[in-house]
Amino acid sequence: MLIAGVDEAGRGPLAGPVTVSAVILAGAIDGLDDSKKLSEKKRRLLVNNIKAQALAWSVVHISVDKIDQINIFQATMLGMKNAVSALHIEPHKILVDGNKTPDFKIQAEAIVGGDGKIAAISAASILAKTARDDLMIQLDKEFPDYGFAQHKGYGTQQHLAALNSLGPCVHHRKTFAPVKNLLQMELYS
């Protein structure tokens, strides 16, 4: 039975896309775990193994504009559907990290903490996080004053200070509270 593991990275940040990966593994890959529990170096080594050994894998980004248009939950669900659709092999079953799945045409199950329990979900977690981190490092070159390479768009003190000083850029999620509040203050000042 071909099982696709699906996970996302970047639901919580104030900037950048939400990134979703789907992976169908051919066999065991040593060292897989929840991407948040692995060092960046370990994730980078595993990315190459996953891409080389998986039967199929995909990574999709859902843009800031789409997140602001339909909300982060719906954007994540859309990303999951798009990631599975982008696989060149159709799985028999889909296992998603979390407590909800989108409406897939095939059997799907949500597994809370699945990124630490199911190898295919762990692999998807690693691909999604690494791809999103790489994208945020690229955005840092375009907008270096925000520190995207360091915090990857999350609401750290450094990021909030830059946001308050510079205002939001095109990569900020305008519907997320700190950005939304700042925009409202600018509107009424």
Detail the residues annotated as belonging to a binding site for a divalent metal cation: 7-8, 97
Task: List binding-site positions.
Answer: 7-8, 97
Q: How many residues does the chain have?
A: 189
Nearest by Cα to 133 from 43, 7, 22: 43
Nearest by Cα to 16 from 131, 135, 105: 135
- Three-state DSSP state, 174: coil
Phi/psi at 109 (5° precision) = -140, 135
Q: Are 13 and 154 in contact (CB under 8 A)?
A: yes
Q: Are 91 and 3 in contact (CB under 8 A)?
A: yes
Q: Using only C-alpha atoms, what is the Rg of the chain?
A: 17
Q: Are 15 and 172 in contact (CB under 8 A)?
A: yes
